[in-house]
Amino acid sequence: MTLLEVQGLDVHHGQLHAVRDFSLAVDAGQTVAVIGANGAGKSTLMRAIAGSHSPTRGSITINGADVTRMPAHQRMRAGICLVPEGRRLFKSLTVEENLDTGAYRAAAGPWNVDAVMELFPWMRERANQNSASLSGGQQQAVAIGRALIGNPKILLIDELSLGLAPAVVKQMYALLPDIVASGTAVLVVEQDVSQALAAADTVHCLLEGRDVLSGKPADLSRARIEQAYFGLTSASGQTVGKGH
Ligand SMILES: Nc1ncnc2c1ncn2[C@@H]1O[C@H](COP(=O)(O)OP(=O)(O)O)[C@@H](O)[C@H]1O
Ligand SMILES: [Mg+2]
């Protein structure tokens, strides 16, 4: 059954039409990626799904229940939790205190501070360390842990790998299967196309707010993805994503 269904979503910033007629479905047990260049509308889409920015048209359902008009804090209760771009930890709080903030309004489920520290074993030693002193990768791990503690049905991660060293990115992606196996589906936004293709069951390519290419990674050629990502014109003169 479809866990998260987004249908015909339009999202504006004032006059700017940032997301256009966007649809996506995530089933339980799946990892879905949204890729696209800077400014494509990825964060706007994630914020609209998480409830921090109201769409102008379209619908969002979770397990068939319409959450389109539900405020963000209720959407967390409904099972949608966002790790925002740039992590946004409470810098004056310790690692453990940051994790604890995720327990507020948490649903019942397998994730708690202990389970997160099992997923990221280094956190136990640094539980009382100020989160501002952590590396970028460690901060991303705390942000993911904090979101997991809410026991979401689906975890939204905006720019999982941005600003992280390649080895750290690899470690992060290596943990996604554990998260999915715990019963939490993942919707990840990426600028790192290779990582997204390796990790996702389905990928959507966003260009200027439109879904210009989507499918299973194995069915999409690298050339088509690059065209969709950059909005390039192919050798045959066809422009991808511009509706020509
Ligand atoms: N708060 C905002 N107010 C006005 N315009 C915004 C705001 N946030 C994003 N935008 C614009 O919306 C478009 C999509 O931005 P964004 O969703 O952040 O893209 P991405 O995450 O793919 O880089 C861009 O043109 C950006 O300048
Ligand atoms: Mg963004």
At the fourth CATH level, which superfamily is domain 2-85+153-230? P-loop containing nucleotide triphosphate hydrolases (3.40.50.300)
Q: What whole-number distance in Å separates Cα of residue 172 and Cα of residue 157?
A: 11
List b or e across 48-67, with b for residues whose CB sees 16 or more CB atoms inside 10 angstroms: bbbbebebeebebbbeeeeb
CA distance 142 to 85: 13
Task: Label the pairing between strands 57-62 and 65-66.
Answer: antiparallel
pLDDT along the chain (244 residues), means of 10: 96 97 97 96 97 97 96 91 90 94 87 95 94 93 95 96 90 93 96 92 97 96 90 58 44
As a whole number of angstroms, the distance between CA 59 and CA 23 comes to: 9
**Contact indicator for 211, 204 with CB cutoff of 8 Å:** yes
CA of 41 to the centre of ligand 1 (A): 6
Per-residue model confidence as pLDDT tens digits over 116-171? 999 999 999 999 999 999 999 999 999 999 999 999 999 999 999 998 989 999 99
pTM: 0.93
Average pLDDT, the chain: 92
Relative to the CA of 40, which ligand 1 atom is closest? Answer: 22
- Residue 99 is predicted with a pLDDT of 95
In whole angstroms, give the CA distance from residue 232 to residue 167.
30
Q: Report the alpha-carbon distance of residue 197 to residue 232 in Å, rounded.
A: 19
Three-state SS at 4:
strand
Q: Provide the CB-side half-sphere exposure for 75 (13 A, CA).
A: 27
Annotate 159-195 with DSSP letters as a single string: SSSTT--HHHHHHHHHHHHHHHHTT-EEEEEES-HHH
For residue 177, which amino acid is it? P
Does the beta carbon of 41 sit less than 6 angstroms from any atom of ligand 1?
A: yes
**Ligand 1 centroid from CA 119, angstroms:** 33
At 200, is the secondary structure helix, strand, or coil? coil
Does ligand 1 have an atom closer than 6 angstroms to the CB of 145?
Answer: no
